[in-house]
């Protein structure tokens, strides 16, 4: 799959989610922070985006921790996103 | 292009939508052995039903005495007497059955010590015909919708339902007699346009809350089912009725639970005044949703809103002990920080009344069959869930009745399909020669358009227009102007231009196609609201005030009827409310007061 297709698929999965909160956060992250990630971080983000919202939300708001260090880095960035 | 140019797949039934209602319908079909396709824009368990946390209602009577007839009364009253009483009786009677069935499908409901389904109180649930609160809501912690979708999905996997994931239905196929023969859909991964030809088509596409600028609904709620139905000449019923939640975060729309005011949160205007003291001296900030929403809008309209554009008010909890906030209102601090950019321990949260739920939709009867104005079914067409208008919610939905609606009418529509297919009433009729023409023309237009408007900007204009002209509190002149504005938006939407013309995974194209649907819903809403010259339930007009002749502005003599909006000519028609239940006596018109 070429880059544009991959990115568009990721965009769909970031902005057509079950909960509005996650549409907003992941959509904003994709536009602003995703382009600055290392390849390992980018892969970790794709894995996170494939999770269901009620599993992802506790990881973002800090009520659960990810055991994976790269994933934890990406989650910290995700938690720093502000919608305003 | 001729019909041979797009591939055709054949099924007994195609269901568009894999949320609670679509999955519930699919179980009936697959378990009956029908060859069933379910289409969804996203993986089924990522449907918006996940967002429902509060619960699902049923008069199980597990915690205290309850009866379906009391539930029926509450629903009729909640609907401000606009709900159809046959459908409401059907739903409330069926509730215990479908909830217990869901338990058998593996739904992990909260339980009492004796192991029964635990039930909790919820606004508007009363015993003995409105006498006192009763515990009727069943929940699975705060994951009710999520747990429900998982239970229904697993059951479908067992029954071999065939899923088409990340497929978007674009248009309904109807023949000359009006019979529905399936849908035309776009597979995002390939960009292919395919016909799904079926004996029966069920719409379960959910709501369209994204027509408003401020909405608690996820981005997916673009009203595709409504758009497709309207383009195929089906009327949309009661589209002026939208339920608003008083406290969505200004800008983002994210819901701030009622619990915040329950714990002592105070609403303030730009001069820091606790304005609810003027509107509801007793209940103050805890007055009912509609009273609070209207007060907020009045403050904003009269120039006492906050911020540079004076377009929100503040929800203040800075006077509460931070320990209380963290303990009693978990998640509120994180939500405020991420979506409002403020820490609610130190600063108040900007909030506005926010669109939450669509009461209107594709007209159906209590069997889940889509009906014409005279009540006769449209052959081959069924609908359930938020896209449908049975009408059980009338002018205002009772909390937790929506998840119930998904189960009851998902199942009923499935049973109707099985009956109509088995009885031989519905065969696989030939597709008309030009069945794909309009859809292909729409796609062609998008591929060749130059110098047109941007999709994102047009969508934003639509949302701002709806919010300003047709929000929670409505004004005559604003509505009249709103109709003209929304027709301008329609013109812009007909000329949207996308830069990316590629075939595979073209999300720009998909968003442009979603916008076409939002436009139909917005027109239906604005035109229906402008015409209804009364206040009823969630439709509240400044020029239809509370008088002795018309309590709460409700005018039963002229307006106790359902609206039907037709896309062709932007035409309105009306039909009577069904006041005769299936077996019990009519619940007669009365002033709605709590
Ligand atoms: C924040 C929030 C909280 C809520 N809480 C409660 C509650 O506690 N209790 C309650 O009773 N109700 C609640 N509601 C309302 C309730 O959640 C919804 O009304 C209900 O879940 C809608 O279910 P549905 O099956 O009709 O549609 P959805 O669950 O929205 O599913 C729609 C499906 O249609 C698919 N689809 C849409 N368009 C297309 C297309 N063009 N092609 C293919 N597929 C398509 C989608 O992919 C999806 O699978 C809440 C709503 C919100 C927003």
Listed by start position, the domains of chain A span: 3-79
Q: What is the DSSP letter of B474?
A: B
- Count the alpha carbons within 13 Å of B564 in the hemisphere toward its beta carbon: 19
pTM of the model: 0.97
Distance B207 CA to ligand 1 centre (A): 6
Distance CA B215, CA B38 (A): 27
CA distance to B295, B454, B461, B496, B506, per residue, from B499 (Å): 44, 9, 20, 10, 10
Distance CA B352, CA B300 (A): 9
Distance CA B552, CA B544 (A): 8
- Contact A25/B254, CB-based, under 8 Å? no
- A11, A14, A21: best to mutate for the B interface, most B CBs within 10 A: A21
Q: Residue B581 corresponds to which tokens in the numbers above? A: 């239940």
Q: What is the pLDDT along chain B (594 residues), one digit of tens a residue?
A: 444 489 999 999 999 999 999 999 999 999 999 999 999 999 999 999 999 988 999 999 998 999 999 999 999 999 999 999 999 999 999 999 999 999 999 999 999 999 999 999 888 899 999 998 999 999 998 899 999 999 999 999 999 999 999 999 999 999 999 999 999 999 999 999 999 999 999 999 999 999 999 999 999 999 999 999 999 999 999 999 999 999 999 999 999 988 899 889 999 999 999 999 999 898 899 888 888 998 999 999 999 999 999 999 999 999 999 998 888 887 899 999 999 999 999 999 999 999 999 999 999 999 999 999 999 999 999 999 999 999 999 999 998 999 999 999 999 999 999 999 999 889 899 999 999 999 999 999 999 999 999 999 999 999 999 999 999 999 999 999 999 999 999 999 999 999 999 999 999 999 999 999 999 999 999 999 999 999 999 999 999 988 999 999 999 999 999 999 999 999 999 999 999 999 999 999 998 877
Q: Is B96 in the pocket of ligand 1 (CB under 6 A)?
A: no
Closest CB to B341: pick one of A18, A21, A84: A84
CA distance to A28, B12, B314, per residue, from B248 (Å): 19, 43, 11
Q: Is B57 in the pocket of ligand 1 (CB under 6 A)?
A: no
Nearest CA residue ID for atom 44, ligand 1: B40
Q: Is B52 in the pocket of ligand 1 (CB under 6 A)?
A: yes
Nearest CA residue ID for atom 6, ligand 1: B52
Burial state string for A51-79 with b = 16 or more CB within 10 A and e = fewer than 16: ebbbebbebbbeeeeeeeebbebbbebbe
DSSP B50-112: GG--S-EE----SSS---HHHHHHHHHHHTTT-S-HHHHHHHHHHHHHHHHHHHHTT----B-
Q: What is the pLDDT of residue B5?
A: 80
Q: Is B176 exposed, middle or buried (0-12, 13-18, 19+ CB in 10 A)?
A: exposed
Closest CB to B46: pick one of A17, A25, A84: A17
- In B359-472, DSSP assigns E strands to 362-363, 369-371, 377-383, 388-389
Among residues B22, B31, B32, B99, the alpha carbon closest in space to that of B400 is found at B99
The residue from B174, B261, B289, B294 that is catalytic is B289
Residues of chain A contacting residue B500, judged by C-beta atoms under 8 Å apart: 4
Q: What is the pLDDT of residue B303?
A: 96
Ramachandran region of residue B385, left (φ > 0), alpha (ψ -120 to 50) or beta? left
Angle at the Cα of B346 from the Cα atoms of B340 and B348, rounded to 5 degrees: 50
Q: Residue B469 corresponds to which tokens in the numbers above? A: 């002209």
Among residues B508, B499, B519, the alpha carbon closest in space to that of B451 is found at B499
B495 catalytic per annotation: no
Residues of chain B contacting residue A11, judged by C-beta atoms under 8 Å apart: 507
- Count the alpha carbons within 13 Å of B61 in the hemisphere toward its beta carbon: 12
Size of interface A-B (CB pairs under 8 A): 90
E strand or H helix at B182: strand B180-187
How many other CB atoms are there within 10 angstroms of residue B6's CB atom? 16
A3-79: CATH superfamily: Flavinator of succinate dehydrogenase (1.10.150.250)
Residues of chain A with pLDDT under 50: none
- In B462-569, DSSP assigns E strands to 561-566
Q: Residue B477 corresponds to which tokens in the numbers above? A: 């002149």
Ramachandran region of residue B191, left (φ > 0), alpha (ψ -120 to 50) or beta? left
- Contact B507/A17, CB-based, under 8 Å? no
Distance CA A3, CA A10 (A): 11
- Using a CB–CB cut-off of 8 Å, the residues of A that contact B are 4-5, 8-9, 11-13, 15-25, 27, 52-54, 61-62, 79, 81-84
Lookup result for tokens 């009936």? B28
ipTM over 0.85: yes
Q: What is the pLDDT of residue B591?
A: 87
Q: Is B49 in the pocket of ligand 1 (CB under 6 A)?
A: yes
Angle at the Cα of B185 from the Cα atoms of B423 and B387, rounded to 5 degrees: 65
Helices A69-79, A39-49: inter-axial angle, 10-degree rounding:
70
Distance CA B227, CA B163 (A): 22
CA distance to B208, B258, B371, B392, B560, per residue, from B575 (Å): 23, 36, 12, 15, 9
Ligand 1 nearest atom to the CA of residue B216, by list position:
53
Distance CA B210, CA B127 (A): 35
Among residues B461, B239, B258, the alpha carbon closest in space to that of B358 is found at B239
- Using a CB–CB cut-off of 8 Å, the residues of B that contact A are 41-42, 45-51, 143, 146, 166, 188-189, 215-220, 251-255, 331, 334-335, 337-341, 500, 502, 504-507, 510
Distance CA B390, CA B411 (A): 13
- B218, B336, B340, B512: best to mutate for the A interface, most A CBs within 10 A: B218
DSSP B534-550: S-BTTB-BTTS---SSS
Lookup result for tokens 């130190």? B346
Cβ B544 vs Cβ B581: under 8 Å:
no
Residue from B20, B186, B206 whose mutation best tests the ligand 1 pocket (most atoms within 8 A of CB): B206
Distance CA B532, CA B551 (A): 16
- Contact B219/A81, CB-based, under 8 Å? no
Distance CA B23, CA B145 (A): 12
Question: Is residue A60 helix, strand or coil?
Answer: helix
User: Phi and psi for B101 in degrees, rounded to 5?
Assistant: -60, -45
Q: What is the DSSP letter of B161?
A: P
Q: Is B17 in the pocket of ligand 1 (CB under 6 A)?
A: yes
Closest CB to B507: pick one of A12, A22, A84: A12
Ligand 1 nearest atom to the CA of residue B400, by list position:
11
- Count the alpha carbons within 13 Å of B36 in the hemisphere toward its beta carbon: 28
How many other CB atoms are there within 10 angstroms of residue B190's CB atom? 11
Among residues B432, B518, B501, the alpha carbon closest in space to that of B172 is found at B432
Q: Residue B162 corresponds to which tokens in the numbers above? A: 């065939």
Residues of chain A contacting residue B510, judged by C-beta atoms under 8 Å apart: 12
Ramachandran region of residue B164, left (φ > 0), alpha (ψ -120 to 50) or beta? beta
- Contact B338/A62, CB-based, under 8 Å? no
* Contacts for B473 with CB less than 8 Å, ≥ 6 apart: B293, B294, B297, B298, B301, B540, B542
Among residues B301, B357, B354, B351, the alpha carbon closest in space to that of B472 is found at B354
Ramachandran region of residue B453, left (φ > 0), alpha (ψ -120 to 50) or beta? beta
């Amino acid at each position: 799959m070429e880059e544009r297709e991959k990115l568009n698929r990721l965009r769909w999965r970031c902005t057509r989610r079950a909960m509005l909160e996650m549409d907003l956060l992941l959509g904003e992250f994709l536009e602003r922070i995703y382009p600055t990630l290392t390849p390992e971080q980018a892969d970790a983000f794709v894995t996170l985006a494939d999770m269901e919202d009620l599993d992802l939300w506790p990881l973002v708001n800090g009520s659960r921790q990810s055991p994976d260090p790269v994933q934890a880095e990406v989650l910290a960035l995700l938690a720093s996103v502000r919608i305003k | 292009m001729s019909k041979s140019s797009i591939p055709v797949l054949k099924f007994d039934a195609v269901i568009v939508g894999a949320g609670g209602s679509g999955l519930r319908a699919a179980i009936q079909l697959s378990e009956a052995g029908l060859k069933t396709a379910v289409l969804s824009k996203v993986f089924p368990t990522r449907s918006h039903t996940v967002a429902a946390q509060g619960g699902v209602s049923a008069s199980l009577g597990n915690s205290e005495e309850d009866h379906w007839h009391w539930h029926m009364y509450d629903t009729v009253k909640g609907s401000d007497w606009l709900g159809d009483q046959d459908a409401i009786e059907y739903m409330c009677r069926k509730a215990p059955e479908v909830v217990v069935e869901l338990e058998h499908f593996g739904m992990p409901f909260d339980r009492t010590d004796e192991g029964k389904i635990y039930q909790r109180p919820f606004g508007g649930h009363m015993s003995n015909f409105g006498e006192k609160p009763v515990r009727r809501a069943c929940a699975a912690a705060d994951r009710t919708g999520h747990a429900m979708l998982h239970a229904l999905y697993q059951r479908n996997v067992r029954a071999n339902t065939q899923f088409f994931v990340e497929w978007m239905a674009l248009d309904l196929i109807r023949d000359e007699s009006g019979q529905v023969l399936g849908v035309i859909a776009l597979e995002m991964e390939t960009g292919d346009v395919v016909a799904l030809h079926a004996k029966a088509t069920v719409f379960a596409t959910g709501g369209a809350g994204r027509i408003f600028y401020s909405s608690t609904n996820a981005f997916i709620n673009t009203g595709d089912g409504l758009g497709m139905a309207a383009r195929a000449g089906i009327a949309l019923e009661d589209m002026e009725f939208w339920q608003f939640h008083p406290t969505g975060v200004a800008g983002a729309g994210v819901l701030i639970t009622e619990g915040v005011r329950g714990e002592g949160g105070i609403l303030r205007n730009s001069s820091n005044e606790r304005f609810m003291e003027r509107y509801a001296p007793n209940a103050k900030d805890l007055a009912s949703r509609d009273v609070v929403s209207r007060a907020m809008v009045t403050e904003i309209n009269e120039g006492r809103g906050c911020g540079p554009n004076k377009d929100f008010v503040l929800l203040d909890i800075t006077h509460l002990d931070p320990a209380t906030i963290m303990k009693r209102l978990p998640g509120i601090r994180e939500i405020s920080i991420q979506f409002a950019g403020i820490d609610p321990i130190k600063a108040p949260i900007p909030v506005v009344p926010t669109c939450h739920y669509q009461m209107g939709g594709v007209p159906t009867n209590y069997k889940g069959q889509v009906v014409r104005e005279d009540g006769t079914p449209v052959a081959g067409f069924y609908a359930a869930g938020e896209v449908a208008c049975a009408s059980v919610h009338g002018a205002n939905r009772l909390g937790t009745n929506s998840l119930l609606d998904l189960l009851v009418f998902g199942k009923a529509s499935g049973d109707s399909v099985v009956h109509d297919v088995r009885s031989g009433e519905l065969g696989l009729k030939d597709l008309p020669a030009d069945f794909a023409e309009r859809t292909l023309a729409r796609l062609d237009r998008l591929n060749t358009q130059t110098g047109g408007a941007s999709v994102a900007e047009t969508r934003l204009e639509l949302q701002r227009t709806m919010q300003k002209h047709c929000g929670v509190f409505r004004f005559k002149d604003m509505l009249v102007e709103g109709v003209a504005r929304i027709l301008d938006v329609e013109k812009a939407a007909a000329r949207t231009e996308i830069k990316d013309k590629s075939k595979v995974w073209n999300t720009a194209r998909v968003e442009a196609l979603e916008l076409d649907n939002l436009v139909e819903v917005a027109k239906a809403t604005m035109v229906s609201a402008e015409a209804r010259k009364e206040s009823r339930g969630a439709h509240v007009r400044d020029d239809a005030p509370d008088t002795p002749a018309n309590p709460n502005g409700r005018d039963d003599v002229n307006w106790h009827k359902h609206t039907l909006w037709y896309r062709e000519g932007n035409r309105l028609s009306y039909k009577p409310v069904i006041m005769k239940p299936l077996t019990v006596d009519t619940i007669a018109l009365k002033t709605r007061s709590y």
